Amino acid sequence: MGRRRSGIGIALVTGVVLVGASACGGGGNDKAGGDDSPKAPGKPSASASPSPTKPLGPPMLLDTITPQTGTTVGVAMPISVVFSDPVAAKARATVEKHMKVSASQPVAGAWHWFGDKRADWRPKTYWPSGTRVKIDVDVKGVDNGNGRYGVHDYTHTFKIGDDVRADVSVGGHTMKVTRNGRMLRTLSINAGSDQFPTWNGTMAVIDKQDKVHMTSCSVGISCDKGSPNYYDLTLPWDVHLTWSGTYVHYSTGDPSPGSGSARGSHGCVHLSLSDAKWFYDQVKQGDPVTITGSPRAKAPADNGYAAFNLSWSEWLAGSASGEGTTATL
């Protein structure tokens, strides 16, 4: 990518508009969090079973539950539940008790609220590979503390797949990729420049697209085609890490990344074309990509699915009911 200023803009995936996400958003406010909107990319709708029961008041509904039912995800993937309307602090402990997490083996974890609409459940440490997981959100008749009552129950089931991890060294210009503890490859990379540094920390893969349309105009850099900062590119093999626009991908402006070229990106992690395709084929939603050595802070935990950027004590501080162990599935 050509150099650009930071900012929140729009990245266009082929056929899809990613609202609130910038392509390779290296700058911006480090305190900015994620987008709880159902229009955010990669956020599937929750599945519901209708209830004939007449609600006690206006309905409390869910916008999304992630992961989608029937999917296989990585070891760092939280369960993310987004409500259509705010849940009052006084009601959250009750609501949490009605969001039951079951697993095929016991896993310690807890809920954490990001604002008043999004609650994520993460294990204390990464999920064990092969674990089958079920989330039952049975909120029929449950009050959200603001006069709304649940009218549906929601159930999603998913599986934890192979333990695939990517560890990026910004200073070393490398990405080490492992599967189930076995080293697969060490890839040459370039991360963000000093002006547009990459987020540090662990980010679970949100999704991936084989092509993403990235423009300087959409992120507020320049809409002037004569400007040296103008770009309008469709780039391949894009692995999505944050709502604010961090990707691992190939860039035509940095075709041979590594310590020899040392060309900084605008916050993304660049791979060569062949390495980008290989990495794209290895990873899935929920696989952890951990970046170290950048001068930037860790990505906010709700900027995508970066739950493991909070310590366990920090995570529990956002929970209404505290640590618990999954029910038996």
More confident residue, 217 or 173: 173
pTM listed for this prediction: 0.86
Query: Residue 45 — pLDDT band, cuts 50, 70, 90?
Result: low
Render pLDDT for 296-319 as a digit per residue (tens, 0 to 9): 999 999 999 999 999 999 999 999
Tell me what the mean pLDDT of segment 44-56 comes to. Answer: 58
Do residues 89 and 103 lie in contact, with contact meaning Cβ atoms separated by under 8 Å?
A: no
Contacting residues for 192 by C-beta, under 8 A, at least 6 apart: 26, 170, 198, 264, 265, 266, 267, 268, 294, 296
Tell me what the mean pLDDT of segment 112-133 comes to. Answer: 98
Query: Residue 65 — pLDDT band, cuts 50, 70, 90?
Result: very high
Query: Residue 42 — pLDDT band, cuts 50, 70, 90?
Result: very low
Render pLDDT for 71-96 as a digit per residue (tens, 0 to 9): 999 999 999 999 999 999 999 999 99
Does residue 91 sit in helix, strand or coil?
helix
Render pLDDT for 256-277 as a digit per residue (tens, 0 to 9): 999 888 778 888 999 999 999 9
